[in-house]
Amino acid sequence: MRKPPTKFGLFTVVFPDEQAAARIEALVCRVRRDCRLKVKPLLTSRFHVSLNNLGEYADRGMAEAVALKACEAAAGVRVNPFTVMFNLLQSFTGRAGQRALVLRGDDGVVGLEILYRSLTTAMRMAGFKSPLHFTPHLTLSYGEQPIEERFIEPISWTVREFALILSLRGETKYVFQGRWPLGT
């Protein structure tokens, strides 16, 4: 059977630091055991908070051309480093109706919302369509049976940069197109 052609997703993200990623991984292991979840969690290196989705492309060259334009816009974003804190675990239904297990936060996600608004303004000025609505979350796994929302011991880290990622769909691979430190 022939493998379908790769599609290329382009989006801005923040990644947890190593310590937070390790705490997230430990949480996933506990939740999988306690809730008897069968699906595999995401790789620890792929834990991230998606900010601006800049589209999916069938051609890598087109995706990289769009990435150049997005990099120019992202380079002008000025936000100070901030602490993000997730304290809720819940099932979540995404854009395509796909169910996911995610971390969410209440007051601890304000910095993500500020970064998102700044990025959205820059992307819109560059001609990209970015929705004004943003629900900060970090996906742990896909395809889970629903679980009730529950509070968890907070997981936090200081966000010091954001990145533009080219995702090779179906290959579990990210290619960095740009990285920008916060506070400069």
Phi, psi of 136 (to 5 degrees): -60, 130
What are 135's two structure tokens? Answer: 């629900």
pLDDT at 144: 64
Average the pLDDT over each of 9-23, 85-99, 164-178 and give the range with the smallest value.
85-99
Full domain range(s) for residue 126: 8-179
Domain membership of residue 1 (yes or no) is no
Report how many domains make up the chain: 1
Domain membership of residue 110 (yes or no) is yes
pLDDT at 94: 65
If residue 64 lies in a helix (H) or strand (E), which one and from where to where?
helix 60-74
Q: How confident is the model at residue 62 (pLDDT cuts 50, 70, 90)?
A: very high
Domain membership of residue 90 (yes or no) is yes
Average pLDDT over residues 23-30: 91
Residue type, 24: I
Domain membership of residue 35 (yes or no) is yes
Buried b (16+ CB within 10 A) or exposed e, 112-144: beebbebbbebbeebebebeeebebbbbbbeeb
Domain membership of residue 3 (yes or no) is no
pLDDT tens, 116-131? 999 999 999 999 988 8
CATH number at residue 165: 3.90.1140.10
